[in-house]
Amino acid sequence: MHDGHTGGRSADSARVIDVDDLPDGLVVTDRDGHVLTVNRAATRLTGVTREQAEGRHVRDVFSLRDQDGRDWWKWLDPYGGLPARTRQPELPLRTPSGQEMLVAARLVRAPERGGEVVRVVITLRDARVRARLERSRADLVSTVAHELRSPLTSVKGFTATLLAKWTRFTDDQKLVMLETVNADADRVTRLITELLDVSRIESGRLEIHRQVVDIPARVRRIIDGRVAAGEPEDRFRLQVRGELPETWLDQDKIDQVLANLMENAVRHGRGTVTIAVEPNEWGVTVSVRDQGEGIPPELVTRVFRQFWRGNARRRGGTGLGLFIVKGLIEAHGGSISVQSGPDGGAEFRFMVPTGTPDFA
């Protein structure tokens, strides 16, 4: 009985929602448009407090108008239209000060089907979020077009030349051309893979398939691969501190994170790249640091944004790598940050929880 009673209390408390916990602005009015409540997010957006708004008409408090200057409340017309109407789609509106917000409304009826309007629930969102999203999408299109044009132009040029003048080239010349085509095809494949990762991260469709992962072993494997590709072996140093807990992670995605951070340290840093792995109270911490110039403090907040490149003079890649790394770590329930390392370079540090198997 005790367990059941406790569960009932938890279920009841879970149904109680504080409007101040909502991420979007919320304004609730009665059927006549007089404000019943304003949540904290709406106050943050508009500067109007609950005390200033309650009891007054929404038009007098917020005075929202559309792009043509029309009174939004009058245009909403809660009492007009079909009795089945329950919502007003989101629209860009402006306050008297010129601030633009995205505003939507729901008409609460009693009875629910065809009854009279008893409340109007209005949601407010900062239009700057939409503007940033539109800029991000425009940047994405521009970046993709730029990054695809170069390798595809190369592929087209070499294949057209080989088809037209195959007999004029020696085998060595043909081999060089085909190797270039192959490398450019790999470059296009990497870009498409990155774009798919970005899409899954932004849409919340990134899937994590957990298994036991030995993080130091994965680091050694990536180091061996880079050394086999021509990097000097003494460029990398692995440090394992303390007894590591068993970690259930997505091995492919952790490999992707480690490879990206190590590539970033090699490309933008100097000296030895140190990878330190150590336990923390709820999982494992991994630090990847170099001995380069580091990242200026004013740029730290931009590092994990899309299209960020640390050094314009060493332009390379799409600028999506660290954004994807952050998304992969957060999908595991972890976190990642960047700071100055002990040797003056950049230090990327991520933490992942021990996790549980998928079937648990």
7-40 per-position pLDDT tens digit: 444 444 445 568 888 888 999 999 889 999 999 9
CA distances, 151 to each of 5, 146, 157, 162, 188 (Å): 65, 10, 10, 16, 7
For residue range 52-109, what is the model confidence (pLDDT) as tens digits?
999 999 989 988 888 888 888 888 888 777 777 888 888 888 888 788 888 999 999 9
| DSSP states along 307-346 | T--S-GGG--S-S-HHHHHHHHHHHTT-EEEEEE-TTSSE
| DSSP states along 79-100 | TSS-TT--EEEEEEEE-TT--E
Q: Which residues contact 177 (CB under 8 A, 6 or more apart)?
A: 158, 161, 162, 169
What is the residue-averaged pLDDT of the chain?
A: 84
Contact 291, 343 (CB under 8 A): yes
Q: Which one, of 253, 277, 268, 254, lies nearest residue 346 by Cα?
A: 268
CA distance 171 to 108: 77
Catalogue all structural domains in the chain, each as residue range(s) with its CATH number: 2-127 (3.30.450.20), 130-203 (1.10.287.130), 211-353 (3.30.565.10)
CA distances, 225 to each of 58, 186, 232, 259, 317 (Å): 64, 17, 11, 10, 20
CA distance 229 to 235: 13
CA distance 331 to 207: 8
Contact 318, 231 (CB under 8 A): no
**pLDDT at position 2:** 44
For residue range 177-236, what is the model confidence (pLDDT) as tens digits?
999 999 889 888 878 888 888 888 877 788 899 999 999 999 999 999 999 988 999 999
Sheet containing 236-240: order of strands: 236-240, 273-280, 283-289, 346-353, 335-340
Q: If 0-12 CB within 10 Å is exposed, 13-18 middle and 19+ buried, where does residue 203 land?
A: exposed
CA distance 81 to 202: 37
Structure tokens at 75: 């245009």
How many residues are recorded in the chain?
360
Q: What predicted TM-score, i.e. pTM, was given to this entire model?
A: 0.61
Contact 177, 162 (CB under 8 A): yes
Q: If 0-12 CB within 10 Å is exposed, 13-18 middle and 19+ buried, where does residue 292 land?
A: buried
Q: Please, which pLDDT band fits residue 345 given cuts at 50, 70 and 90?
A: confident
Contact 65, 71 (CB under 8 A): yes
Q: Which one, of 327, 322, 328, lies nearest residue 310 by Cα?
A: 322
